[in-house]
Structure 1
Amino acid sequence: MNYHKRKFRAVINTANCEISSETVFEYIQEGSVLSAQYQGGQVVKGHISGLVDDQGYIEMHYHQVNQKGEVSKGMCYSRPEILSNGKIRLHEAWKWASGDISEGSSILDEI
């Protein structure tokens, strides 16, 4: 699976998440290496670095700056699902590595 130049937006999040439907992720993939920039809503600017396996699963680390001027970071595992319209949905399980060190989940849909 290739995520190169695909854009995603969150559709479901747990309460401890700073991303929202206003946050847009823009992915770049070179081989198995994935990177992304994201912003919108509570997130002023965020970056992702990670790896994609043969089934399209993603293991990544993220860091971001929020509207309060706080820098936070964490790690995330994403499982892809191909929707009936051919677009990708990402089921994400993540954990903050800063702040309260809580865990959460999100669903992102390709836009």
Structure 2
Amino acid sequence: MISDHITSLGYRLERTDDPKIVAPLLKACALEPVTTESSAGWQPHEYLLACTRAGGIAACVGWTRGPRQVIIHSLAVAQPSRGSGIGGGLLATVMGELMEQKPVESMWLNTDSGSARRLFSSFGFQTIEADDTPDIVREHPLFKTAGPYARTMARRYNTGHRGLDNYAFRLIQNDTPEATLPHGSVFFFRQFASVIEGSYRGGTVVRGHLLGYIHDQALKFCWHHFTDAGRLMSGDGNIIMDQLPDGRRELREVFEGSGELLLREV
């Protein structure tokens, strides 16, 4: 599991299938713990936890996997850890690792929180009408018991041509001369016509930004970021975009004789 970015934030990762462990955090975040058993065709519920050095749970993401879909039913961040990036980092880790283990066609969730919808939207989730929701998802107990204000969102893969707007990528490899970000760091992209804008942070990078334009399958860009040592760094480059068999994309930059940078869509 690629988790250097989680470690750089001061957390360690743990997995559990026991909802009682995460129930206090979910309740503190005004979320209902999962009490239903998995339905036919769905695997047992699982959780990935970000734990503090003192042993507390700073954040969690919970999910259940079906034959071709995943339902993400829980995302919670403890109040002291909000704003640290751990929520987005943990979600990116779960989505990326689920697709690495066994790719699915789509991921689904229900939420009545506007801030949660904004976060999920930055990972490629879109609001979906009930009629467009597969029966196997709609009939799952987690969806049948959703509140009246809950909105269904889906992240679909293998949907054909699409830009980079509101998609997130994880840093898989970076052995370039200016490498400062830990593996697993998340890049959030926006696209306006052919113009690409991205933001990132992690490790010693307090805030980072890139700006460029895309033509065919190539992205020409410039970047700058500020480190916790007070150093302002900048540069430029060219990235080639490739598509994986499961529908995700990779952004790759190769420096002749001096390393490679690889970002993979979550």
TM-score normalised by structure 1 residue count: 0.83
Q: Deviations over 1:39-59 (max 9, x none)?
A: 112211001110000x23100
User: Equivalent residue for 2:249?
Assistant: 88
Structure 1 unaligned spans of 5+: 95-102
Q: Secondary structure at the match of 1:10?
A: strand
Percent identical pairs in the alignment equals 25
CA contact (8 A) 1:2 1:56 kept: no
CA contact (8 A) 2:217 2:242 kept: no
Q: Secondary structure at the match of 1:86?
A: coil
> Greater share of strand residues, 1 or 2?
1
Give structure 1 regions of 4+ aligned residues with deviation exceeding 3 angstroms.
none
User: Equivalent residue for 2:210?
Assistant: 48
Give the direction of change, closer, same or farther, for the CA distance of 1:46–1:92 in structure 2 (3 Å limit): same
> Aligned pair 1:79/2:240, yes or no?
yes
Question: Does 8-17 or 31-40 show the bigger shift?
Answer: 8-17
CA contact (8 A) 2:172 2:184 kept: no
> Greater share of helix residues, 1 or 2?
2
User: Matches of 2:168 and 2:253 in 1, distance apart?
Assistant: 15
CA contact (8 A) 2:176 2:260 kept: no
> Aligned pair 1:69/2:69, yes or no?
no
How far apart are residue 105 of structure 1 and its match? 2.4
User: Equivalent residue for 2:5?
Assistant: none
User: Matches of 1:89 and 1:106 in 2, distance apart?
Assistant: 10
How far apart are residue 29 of structure 1 and its match? 0.3
Q: CA RMSD in A?
A: 1.6
How far apart are residue 64 of structure 1 and its match? 0.1
User: Matches of 2:248 and 2:167 in 1, distance apart?
Assistant: 10
Q: Deviations over 1:25-46 (max 9, x none)?
A: 1000010001111111221100
TM-score normalised by structure 2 residue count: 0.36
How far apart are residue 104 of structure 1 and its match? 4.4
User: Equivalent residue for 2:264?
Assistant: 109
User: Matches of 1:104 and 1:48 in 2, distance apart?
Assistant: 20
Bigger CA radius of gyration: 2
User: Matches of 2:230 and 2:170 in 1, distance apart?
Assistant: 22
Question: Quick one: higher RCO (CA 8 Å, sep 6+), 1 or 2?
Answer: 1
